[in-house]
Structure 1
Amino acid sequence: MAEEIIESDDFVRNAYIIINEMLDLSNHTTEDTTVLVDEILHSIFFLGTITNSAYTPKKILDVKFAEIKALYPKPFECYSSQLPRRSPFSCVLDMIVRLTGQENEKGIQTTLQRLIDDLRKGAKSDQKCLFSSAICISQAGQSSVKHYGVSMSTSTRDAREIMVAVSCCHEWDEYVAGAVMTYFPNKKKNKSKDRKTEIDGTIRLPENVKCRAFSLLDGKVKPPCRSCANLFSLKTSTIEKWPYGNCAESESLSNLFKNEAQVKNRVELQTPMSWTAEYKEGAKKTLLTFLKNSLKKVNFNQDMIVYTPTISGEKVNVHI
């Protein structure tokens, strides 16, 4: 790693390490994982430009800039004009699940923790920059398929809120998005146009669906926070309350619902009369207004087009 990268601030340092890890993992598999590398490059470059205009791809990649741009040109063309669907560590999670095996829960957690240990060593601050602090495993029954999710992996509050909003609109399953939109961005239930009726898209999970969350910093069990209890009817004794949409439960449950229709069909709305088509549209309109204003705040003045990673159809090997 170039000396100036080592001595740089945490965003550039962590971005470099994460990209290097993704390239290394992609190089050591026979699978075509270039779509995940393409996606994470765009996601990191986007977060760099809205966090600090000096965090350019050139600054992050240093001497490997030209080589990686030649192999993955699209992220370099679109990072300042299109929005990512999800934050970077979700791409890391997908890569590791694919290479480690869907049922190898311990191996997945160990690999993620090893990377996070590398990111935390020598960091200039305790801020969790570009990596997730928690993982959640959701499954419908003890012997069913495991579906994973990680907490938001951004660098600032503005970036986190932008990614929660985009995930609600374009990435998460409709039930998860609806639950989050009930409280986001106002931190309390949104109101209908007449300001008298609360909009409520929160859900109740089927009885056999279990969510287990763990810290990726120390491996300890993390009970659902109060926000996740409000969104998904998860039982908890904690009073801790993280921002709505931030927790790993959102992505994990979304992946479960998107992949297992029979489970999704048994999800129930907490108050069906408060989540009609009209109320749903009102919640989404509130969200989009918030997203537009948040993007202006970080000087992103483009149309809200969501990035689609390039699927190359052939394997690309590159070392950073």
Structure 2
Amino acid sequence: MEPSMNNNTENLHQRKVKLQRDKGIQKANLIASGFQFIKTFYTLLRKVPQTDEEAKKIMRAYMEEVLHGIFFFGSIHAIPVKPEEFFPDGHHEDFKNIFPEPFEKYNTHLPVRTPYSVLLVLVVKIKSTGNMNEILQLLTETNTFLQKPSPTDNTVWNSNDYCFDSTVVSQSYFKDPQTDKGSEMFWGASLACKGKVEREILIYISCIKAWNKAVAYAVHYAQTGRAIKFPNYVYSEAFRSGRRNNSPYESIPPCLKCVSLFHNIRFIPQSEEEHHAAWPYGNCAEAESFSKLLNTLSNVLDDVKAVINGAEEPFTQEMIDFVANCQKSAAQKLKSRKFLLTEDWHFFGCCTG
């Protein structure tokens, strides 16, 4: 039995060594991709005309939100990353002097969206005409910079290495049947954070704070077969990034989870039966997109129905009974990653845009 026991001990040791090595690689990728995102976003931000103090204030808030989000995800990583570790050669002091709040609040305040969702808002603002093709083109160009660690480094991260970009973006709008005019487009991004625990935490936070409560209701109760039904004439189209082969975004059908959650949406293209989803409910870009639409268009929100056991009924405030459960689940996950959660549930950022 001794040789067998020795072999088992050696195998266990090798597995532990490999696990630690893999975690070390994940931490290095998180640091590298975090710095690359900060640098790319800061460069993009400086291209935006800041004509008055209000515009400067908004742009500053975007940069602070990106920094805070990256620092937050670093702090709850399996091997925690400190804010200064994201900056080479001590450059963190420059950012800390200009943007002190993210450095002070990353482990006491929760983000309300991912850094990529903030980037998406900025891109839409830059392409202020709302032209869909122009928005997707600028996103494609920006993704290229996110994927390259530096101008002199030809290495490009694959989708499993890079930690902060979204694979899919989605836009939705309402077309008024009386005038046949479409509303503005409301853009959303799939959850851009690495790790099962991190993704679960962000979905809980989104249900508590970020998403429209009708969308949060559908996501939270998805496993019980509940859903929400939109009024007629709401359209949605999702686009998958072509980052793997440096190609443009491509239009894709919704996954079956989105179809089951959000009834009566006119998806473009229509859903395909084989388009199953391995990701959790709420991961998709449509959740953020529809939330923005409902938060802006009260006439659409007023006509949203809850679907319970196949029956429709008006969506009411009384149905928002899930927040406490989301807080409890999020708290357990956050405490497992040693986040300094308080009873007051402090959030960083206000979902502007």
TM-score normalised over the length of structure 1:
0.83
| Equivalent residues of 2:305, 2:314 under 8 A apart | no
Q: List runs of 5+ in structure 1 lacking aligned partners.
A: 1-7, 190-197, 311-320
| Alignment partner of 2:214 out of 171, 175, 190 | 175
Q: Kindly provide the amino acid, as one letter, of the partner of residue 247 in structure 1.
A: C
2:231 alignment partner in structure 1: 206
2:88 is aligned with 1:55:
no
| Equivalent residues of 1:102, 1:145 under 8 A apart | no
1:193 alignment partner in structure 2: none
| Equivalent residues of 1:257, 1:264 under 8 A apart | yes
| CA distance in 1 between partners of 2:144 and 2:29 (Å) | 14
Deviation at 1:54, TM superposition (A): 4.3
Deviation at 1:109, TM superposition (A): 1.2
| CA distance in 2 between partners of 1:294 and 1:24 (Å) | 34
**Offset from partner CA, 1:254-308 (integer Å, 9 cap, x none):** 1111111122122222235697766642x33322221111112222242262333
Specify whether residues 131 and 287 from structure 1 end up closer, same or farther in structure 2 by C-alpha distance, changes over 3 A only.
Answer: same
| Alignment partner of 2:146 out of 111, 119, 130 | 119
- 1:51 is paired with a residue of what secondary structure? coil
- 2:76 is paired with a residue of what secondary structure? helix
**Could you tell which deviates more after superposition, 174-183 or 247-256?**
174-183
1:138 alignment partner in structure 2: 172
1:247 alignment partner in structure 2: 284
Deviation at 1:116, TM superposition (A): 2.1
Number of matched pairs: 288
2:61 alignment partner in structure 1: 35
The structure with the largest alpha-carbon Rg is 2
| Equivalent residues of 2:111, 2:349 under 8 A apart | no
1:195 alignment partner in structure 2: none
| CA distance in 2 between partners of 1:275 and 1:155 (Å) | 33
- 2:87 is paired with a residue of what secondary structure? helix
Structure 1 vs Structure 2 CA RMSD: 2.3
| Alignment partner of 1:306 out of 322, 346, 350 | 346
Q: List runs of 5+ in structure 2 lacking aligned partners.
A: 1-26, 149-154, 176-180
Deviation at 1:249, TM superposition (A): 0.2
| Equivalent residues of 1:17, 1:119 under 8 A apart | yes
| Alignment partner of 2:33 out of 5, 14, 37 | 14
Q: How does 1:238-317 map to 2 (within 5 A)?
A: 238-239=273-274, 240-241=276-277, 242-271=279-308, 280-281=320-321, 283-303=322-342, 305-309=345-349
| Equivalent residues of 1:109, 1:216 under 8 A apart | no
**Offset from partner CA, 1:72-127 (integer Å, 9 cap, x none):** 00000000111111111001011111112151211211122222233334245531
Deviation at 1:53, TM superposition (A): 4.4
**Could you tell which deviates more after superposition, 266-275 or 145-154?**
266-275
Bigger relative contact order (CA 8 A; separation at least 6): 1
**Identity of counterpart residues, as a percentage?**
26
| Equivalent residues of 1:102, 1:146 under 8 A apart | no
Deviation at 1:167, TM superposition (A): 0.8
